[in-house]
Amino acid sequence: MQLTHNSLLQGGKYRIERVLGQGGFGITYLGEQVALGRKVAIKEFFMKEYCNRDAETSHVSVGSQGSREAVDRFKLKFIKEAQLIAALNHPNIIRIHDIFEENGTAYYIMEYQECGSLSDYLEARGALDEAEALSFIRQIADALKYIHERKINHLDVKPGNILLNEDNNAVLIDFGLSKRYDDEGNQTSTTPVGISHGYAPLEQYKRGGVGVFSPATDIYSLGATLYKLLTGNTPPEANDVMESKGVASLGSNVSKKTSDAVRKAMQPSRQDRPQSIDEFLALLGNEKVKREKKTKTAKTAWWAKAENGNKVEQTNTDEATVFGDDAGGEQSKERVVLKRGRRNWKKWLAISGGAIVSFFVLIMAIGIFSGEEDDAYELELKHLEDLNKSIGGYEEGHPWVDLGLSVKWATYNIGAIFPGNYGDYYAWGETIQKSEYTFANSKTSGKNLGDISGKPQYDVARKAWKGKWRMPTSDEFEELDKKCTWQWTNINGHDGYKVTGPNKNSIFLPAAVYFEDSRWLPKYYGRYWTSSPIESSSNTDAALSYFFQRDFHYSTAFDRYEKHSVRAVME
């Protein structure tokens, strides 16, 4: 439930006009700062899956104690994110006017930008000419240089996170994935890492990959953004860039200097990229590009055309891709979609609500802000909502689904907080993640342990989630295989199987990324440990895992030292 029209906050200081958008972690409203008579964007922390609102008092409450702990953790992240942005003062970074707690939740007040994002601009106009694209990129580069000087990485630079103000200048938003670092370059918090496919470099796919400060990570995303502006195409994913040993030429209409700068910025290896914004700008050439400044009345031609006599439709998108601990994106954006070839243009606004990091709807989102057509953490909300309807209850704060089988299945992996998130990875029979997974450091290879389901010293599901949760046996995975319908699908950029039980309830098993032969394989395979070992006179080094790809799924043996996902079950 959302705040209603004319609701007041801070004793009447702010008035709600309407909802701009809602995500898994929050709701963004168009509001008015009453005393000044100015429009503002108001972001409210509201975890869609766990929060309830009293219709009369607007007070936000949370159901269970287990959920309360998670909600409090993400609310603190929400507040810290707002404080981070509020401390910044740069013309190309969104400004926050106020932060406060009220109604049992938290809010922050932002500038309201009504001219849409660079994604909207591209959708309306197609690829930009080089001078205009470079003008926007230099503005965002200046904003990144400013935050890099303060040991902050943005970690989610992309056209959807760049708004255009009334003067047609670029404004960077969405610091939900950002990280702070100390003077030695080490991260000062363990906030999650998010992924916007096509814009995130390879290190962001790796747990701990951005644990040390490096401007080169943002520079990759800035180069990918320039690629998008110049070609109109979503950049290739980092894994494809690595396999192709870089991105292809940007075409004959782009100068060699700019094309080479993009290729250099998008090098798979971090050390091969420019190491500072100044180095990147030097590749582009430091000459300033002159652009006509738009006035408030004129705005921009594209926006004026979109506004002229058109109906406004409002939609919600959650954007953000999350990895490991998860992460979310930030600020709301208004999206303008111009349908070419029609006499009546249609404008629709969408503002991602949410902030901070991910959760079961990050969960309904993976996203909170992945970002548009390019983000593979662009959520299929309808699909996730269908899955969410299958939830039968909670055990120790984690939701389960009754598929009509002998056991109930968790809705997401151990270490995850929403269905599409890959979660954490474990060697068989181990309950703690490691930096390396080798035969030599395996704790269970060569041991006759029997089935480990429910044994907390070996069963990570029981150890991590407690209660009735445990790892599934190979027979229980076989039951899932034989009695359910498996449909290969994609949720927010995550490939995997929607598994529907005899009673029509469903769960989603993402094809979770894993590391093999010195490379990450992001979304083509799934490997899920069962609790069942292979124990014979000739082999005590293997265990059964459920293995799948788009065209097959079956149980097979893997070495126990390998790292796989875990999906829990309960009686």
Please report, for the chain, the start and end positions of each structural domain, with discontinuous segments joined by +. Answer: 118-326, 393-570
Tokens 């009345």 locate to 297
pLDDT of residue 297: 34
- Provide the CATH topology of domain 118-326: Transferase(Phosphotransferase); domain 1 (1.10.510)
Residue 364 identity: M
Look at residue 235 and tell me whether its pLDDT is greater than 90. yes
pLDDT in tens, 478-498: 999 999 999 888 776 678 899
Residue 337 identity: V
Q: What are phi and psi of 552, to 5 degrees?
A: -160, 160
Q: What are phi and psi of 497, to 5 degrees?
A: -110, 130
Nearest to 545 by CA among 569, 522, 563: 563
Burial (Cβ within 10 Å: 0-12, 13-18, ≥19) of residue 490: middle
Q: 518-521: which pairs have CB atoms within 8 A and are 24 or more residues apart?
A: 519/239, 519/242, 520/202, 520/205, 520/206, 520/239, 521/239
Nearest to 539 by CA among 559, 561, 563, 564: 559
pLDDT of residue 66: 63
Nearest to 246 by CA among 234, 258, 256, 236: 236
The HSE-up count of residue 458 (CA atoms within 13 Å, CB side) is: 23
CA distance 467 to 410: 13
pLDDT of residue 327: 31
The HSE-up count of residue 306 (CA atoms within 13 Å, CB side) is: 25
CA distance 132 to 314: 29
CA distance 138 to 168: 14
Tokens 């994002």 locate to 117
pLDDT of residue 274: 96
pLDDT of residue 309: 38
Q: Coil, strand or helix: which one is 296?
A: coil
Strand pairing category for 408-410 and 569-570: antiparallel
Nearest to 357 by CA among 332, 334, 391, 323: 323
Mean pLDDT confidence for 178-182: 85
Give the residue with greater pLDDT, 345 vs 453.
453
Q: Coil, strand or helix: which one is 56?
A: coil
Give the residue with greater pLDDT, 350 vs 500.
500
b vs e for 497-521, b when ≥16 Cβ sit within 10 Å of the residue's Cβ? bbbbbeeebbbbbbbbbbeeeeebe
CA distance 23 to 333: 12
Mean pLDDT confidence for 347-360: 30
Global pTM value: 0.55
Q: Coil, strand or helix: which one is 329?
A: coil
Q: Which of 401-415, 506-520, 537-551 has the highest mean pLDDT?
A: 401-415
- CA end-to-end span of the chain, whole Å? 33
The length of the chain in residues reads 571
Q: Residue 151 in contact with residue 181, Cβ under 8 Å?
A: yes
Calculate the CA 154 to chain-centre distance: 13
Give the residue with greater pLDDT, 35 vs 354.
35
Calculate Rg over the CA atoms of the chain.
24
Look at residue 455 and tell me whether its pLDDT is greater than 80. yes
CA distance 251 to 241: 17
Mean pLDDT confidence for 16-40: 89
Mean pLDDT confidence for 146-153: 94
Tokens 């971090």 locate to 270
Q: Which two tokens stand for residue 465?
A: 């989630």
Sorting pLDDT into bands at 50, 70 and 90, what band is 364?
Answer: very low
Look at residue 371 and tell me whether its pLDDT is greater than 60. no
Mean pLDDT confidence for 74-97: 88
pLDDT of residue 537: 52
Strand partners, 107: 44, 100
Counting runs of H as helices and runs of E as strands, what totals does the chain give?
Answer: 11, 28
484 DSSP 8-state letter? S
Tokens 């990895």 locate to 323
Q: For residue 393, how many other CB atoms are within 10 A of its CB?
A: 10
Average pLDDT, the chain: 78
